Amino acid sequence: MKRTDVLLLGLLSLMWGSSFLLIRVAVPGFGPASLVMLRVLLGAVLLFVYAKLAGQVLVFRPFAARFAMLGLLNAALPYVLISAAELHLSASFAAVLNATVPLFAAVFAAMWLSERLTLRRMLGLFAGVIGVGVMVGWSPMPMTGEAMASIAAMLVASASYAAAGIYTKRKMKGISVHSLAFGQQLGALMWMLVPGAALAPRAVPGPLALWSIVALGVVSTGIAYLLYFRLLERVGPTRTSTVTYLLPVVGMLWGVLLLGETVTTGMIGGLAVVMASVVLVNDIRLPSPVSAGWRAKRLAECVEGGMATDG
């Protein structure tokens, strides 16, 4: 990739990685439902305005039911689960657990796309389970019922993101990436408008929470997707999908630098095992003198429709 593309990829990872930090700051004041409602609303408005200024045609009504499902799987459900989990988990820990998305993607691809689970991939999935166990078992926080429920919520959110990639590949072919991203946010808003309004905070949250929700909707959702479009056009889905591997590291760094969170040995060790399992599951091979670059074939297939994961 050219330097400009590497810079865009780095910016995208910073924006999506920061979502865990922003959620951790905003969710105590807004609550999960209202936070997600405002996030997708701001993201949808920004994407709509950009599309109109850029002369892009947005298609929604003919695919409204599909966008509603995509909005549920790739936005409303995981956003709410992550937000609820971060009431009890650190932003760093949540970001590390989000690294399991490619593992769920491999399982779902075998179930719904008839992809064969080779011995290498099965070993990778087993290693992924061990990695999550290491993270949870070596965590210094007490494993209360709330903590365990929050960890389970993060894993279900990862599974939802992975299912969204499969759904996009099977049901959203031929739809432009601009329409996909806008339709996803609008579809999510359909799910979140009523609960978000009904559970709105009775008091206005503090300035830090307000700025966090604005940054979450505008930067981590709206602007981040615009960068994602740009990368898709310049380098294609395979190279763009490598942002998935950067998010846990970036999420941890934001939590440490801005929230003063502690990165434990269990988090680092568990993340290392999970990332190794992702390499096995997705048949990623190290560069060779003959053929340089990463070959993230399986993960790219899951995001080929223009979707990726954020917090």
How many C-alpha atoms does 281 have within 13 Å on its Cβ side? 28
pLDDT of 37 reads: 97
CB 95 within 8 A of CB 248: yes
pLDDT confidence band for 91 (50 / 70 / 90): confident
Helix (H) or strand (E) holding 30: helix 3-30
Torsion of CA 186, 189, 193, 197, to 10 degrees: -120
Mind listing the pLDDT tens digit for each residue in 37-63? 999 999 999 999 999 998 989 999 999
Distance set, CA 247 to CA 36, 58, 169, 175, 270 (Å) = 20, 29, 22, 26, 15
Q: How far, in Å, CA of 79 to CA of 180, rounded?
A: 17
Buried-state track 203-233, b at ≥16 Cβ within 10 A, e below 16: eebeeebeebbebbbbbbbbbbbbbbbbbbe
Mind listing the pLDDT tens digit for each residue in 294-311? 334 444 444 444 456 677
pLDDT of 136 reads: 59
Q: Which residue has the tokens 């009890």?
A: 88
Write phi, then psi, for 201 (nearest 5 degrees): -65, 145
Q: What is the pTM of this model?
A: 0.82
User: Taking the domains of the chain in order of start, what are their residue ranges?
Assistant: 3-303
* Terminal alpha carbon distance of the chain: 25
